[in-house]
Amino acid sequence: MTGKTIAEKILSSKSDTDSRVGDVVICRIDHLIATDGSMPMTIDYFERMAGASIANAENTSVSLDHYSPPPNRITATLHEQIRAFAAKHGMNVFEVGDGIGHQVMMETGRALPGDLVIGADSHTVTYGALNCFATGVGSSDLAAAMIGGRIWLRVPETIKVDLEGATADKVHAKDIVLSLVRTLGADGAAYKSLEFAGSAIAGLDMDARALLANMSVEMGAKCGLFHADGTTEAFLKAHGSDAGQPVAADSDAEYCQTVTVDLSQLEPQIALPHQVHTVVPVSDAPDESIQMVYIGTCAGGRASDLHEALAVLRKAERIAPGVQMIYTPASRGILSQVSKDGSLAEFVAMGGIIQTAGCGSCCGTCGAIPGDGVNVISTANRNFKGRMGNPEASIYLASPMTCAASALRGRIADPREFA
Amino acid sequence: MDTLTIEGRARLFGDDINTDYIISSRRKRDSLDPHVLRQYLFESIDPQFAASVEPGDILVAGENFGCGSAMEVAATVVIGADIKAVLAKSFSRTYYRNAINNGLLPVICDTSGIAEGDRLLVTLGDAFSVRNETSGVGLTAEALSPVVRTIVMAGGLVPCFQNHGGFPDLPST
């Protein structure tokens, strides 16, 4: 018998079985999370399933992040209903302005190494950065898990992603993951787990890991897992969290595929409208004008994203005329950090706009919406037609440096021009 | 063994149909009612579709149907339009689970020979198959796992909970 992957080990542990790829197991859940996008339907299923109480209420959270703040009366009222349900059942609420639930989960020790977290949101996979098996489900599965405290999962095959070498200047973790999405395609990891490995991992900070894990789902993955190491420990300690129970893959674990990315060969990348996997090097991108630059989301709204954008923005006085440049911090903690370190003021002085911490403009649920015919360049994870609330806009996905370079030029631009 | 049959007209879509294409996230700001949302079904990629749906239509797609967001309205809006089954070469895992939980039958099969408007008969019994009554071609669908079959035969996760009084245990294989 060969050894096990991280996914096989965590699901074995949570189901008290010796499970392998292909087994369907019923697992205990360490933490559950819903968002204001998924919670209204979760409440509806919970009631129709005759749910009386939440099995593990203190470890069940809801994040008011998609409508942060609510743009209309209907969503504001949904928030009131969610707060009332949460209070009645003793569950935890991340309030409007606390940020994107996925970032808050990581910052508050609710997703720890070795844990199993189920979230009614596809980007729940983000906590794989912390060696946590985290996966997205719909509202009905979440309601059932809230009532019973368990979920059925099929133990996934694992693709090993070997990251080797060092990135060149102005090449970002976003460029690594866009290149990987191009290689594997939108369903290249469907039903599977990604396990990130290789000598370059040690050099990736937690923001980079969270971005890679986050975008695993853009390849269809069930989860995107990292090993725990000194960076993991330091992140958890800095946020006052437990160290968890790290799980490592066995050296003879079996992988269905291995993909190697040589980071030293990578140039800045860009995903063209309207698919995440239509990726080309920025140097081959069409010479399109840009009217909106967006730095935000659970993929690219962290403090380091703003810092890296500013490093390029500083090469000029101000952004190009006619460009709307927006930053939406991923959490209140991040907002506080970029306020204190002066980067927020610098961004505003350059012509930038700040939105409330949360999901912002990512999927058109609140915040600025692009106009007809507008080209957006964004640090987000999705660029589907209509994604930001207008099917007549086109969305390009790139690193914060590439977004900043494009803000300065008013056209898609290579950040290496601003060395 | 219980048998489930669904018959209807094929409505064709391509690969990588994401949930935002099925129903735009921004529409959730105004309503979550499938009977309201059905008027916006596929509006970003096929604005004429919603008005042309007939009860019993069957969606037929390529690879990776329902990719992107896990939002469950992408499954309930399809049921709200009186569509009972989706055939695809593959599904995103969240869409697959959401479909099953709501009584929308996801059928994994080779859809490449199906044309717009073909009459299809889906049968889930001892075998899981699709017969294209227009072309006369028969297709074998990928078998359902025991837990999935239990939920499908109950008509979704809510009736399954009502029948079992809680989370359904795994049926033995």
Cα angle vertex A330, ends A365, B67, to 5°? 55
Determine which helix (DSSP H) or strand (DSSP E) holds B159, and give its type and residue range: helix B157-164
Tokens of A144: 């059932």
Task: Check A391 against B24: CB less than 8 A apart.
Answer: yes
Name the amino acid, one letter, at A163. L
Q: What is the pLDDT of residues A223-234, one digit of tens each?
A: 999 999 999 999
Question: Once rounded to an integer, what is the mean pLDDT over residues B111-122?
Answer: 98
Q: Give the contacts of A270 (CB within 8 A, at least 6 positions apart).
A: A178, A279, A280, A281, A282, A285, A377, A396, A397, A398, A402, A412
Tokens of B136: 């006369």
Name the amino acid, one letter, at A241. S
Q: B68: closest CA among B19, B15, B14?
A: B19
Considering CB atoms only, which of A72, A144, A220 is closest to B161?
Answer: A144
The C-alpha atoms of residue A240 and residue A246 are separated, in whole angstroms, by 17
The residue among A46, A139, A181, A362 with the most chain B CBs within 10 A of its CB, best to mutate, is A139
pLDDT band at residue A318 using 50, 70 and 90 as cut-offs: very high
The pLDDT of residue A61: 98
Could you write out the three-class secondary structure of B56-113?
Answer: CCEEECCCCECECCCCCHHHHHHHHCCCCEEEECCECHHHHHHHHHCCCEEEECCCCC
Nearest residue of A to residue B31, measured between CA atoms:
A74
pLDDT band at residue B25 using 50, 70 and 90 as cut-offs: confident
In chain B, where the domains are located: 7-117
Task: Check B20 against A121: CB less than 8 A apart.
Answer: no
> CB of B95 within 8 A of CB of B75?
yes
Tokens of A378: 């964004």
- Statement: residue A362 has pLDDT above 80: yes
- A–B interface: beta-carbon pairs under 8 A: 136
Question: Domains in chain A, please, with CATH?
Answer: 6-261 (3.30.499.10), 271-418 (3.30.499.10)
The pLDDT of residue B56: 94
Query: To 10 degrees, the CA torsion angle through B108, B114, B118, B123?
Result: -30
Enumerate the residues of chain A whose CB falls inside 8 A of the CB of residue B166: 147-148
- Statement: residue B164 has pLDDT above 90: no
The overall average pLDDT reported for chain B is 93
Chain B, 22-81: which have a CB under 8 Å from a chain A CB?
A: 24-26, 28-32, 43-45, 63-64, 67-73, 75-76
The pLDDT of residue B168: 65
> CB of A228 within 8 A of CB of A10?
no
The pLDDT of residue B170: 56
Q: What is the pLDDT of residues B39-76, one digit of tens each?
A: 999 999 999 999 999 999 999 999 999 999 999 999 99
The pLDDT of residue B26: 87
CATH for B7-117 (3.20.19.10, 3.40.640.10, 3.40.50.2300, 3.40.120.10): 3.20.19.10
Task: Check B92 against A391: CB less than 8 A apart.
Answer: no
Give how far A349 is from chain B: nearest CA, Å: 31
Question: Once rounded to an integer, what is the mean pLDDT over residues A168-178?
Answer: 98
- Statement: residue A369 has pLDDT above 50: yes
Give how far A44 is from chain B: nearest CA, Å: 10
The C-alpha atoms of residue A406 and residue A316 are separated, in whole angstroms, by 12
Neighbours of B49 (CB within 10 A): 16
pTM above 0.90, yes or no: yes
> CB of A401 within 8 A of CB of A174?
no
- Write out the E strands in A286-374: 292-295, 324-327, 352-354
Nearest residue of B to residue A389, measured between CA atoms:
B26
Give how far B133 is from chain A: nearest CA, Å: 31
Enumerate the residues of chain B whose CB falls inside 8 A of the CB of residue A187: 16, 63-64, 67, 90, 92
Task: Check B29 against A363: CB less than 8 A apart.
Answer: no
Q: Give the contacts of A45 (CB within 8 A, at least 6 positions apart).
A: A139, A140, A142, A143, A144, B157, B158
Termini Cα distance of chain B: 14
- Statement: residue B166 has pLDDT above 80: no
- The position carrying tokens 């080209």 is A375
Residues of chain A with pLDDT > 70, as a percent, come to 100
Give how far B43 is from chain A: nearest CA, Å: 9
Beta-strand pair A279-281/B4-12 = unpaired
The pLDDT of residue A266: 98
Is the Cα torsion angle A223, A224, A229, A234 positive or negative in sign? negative
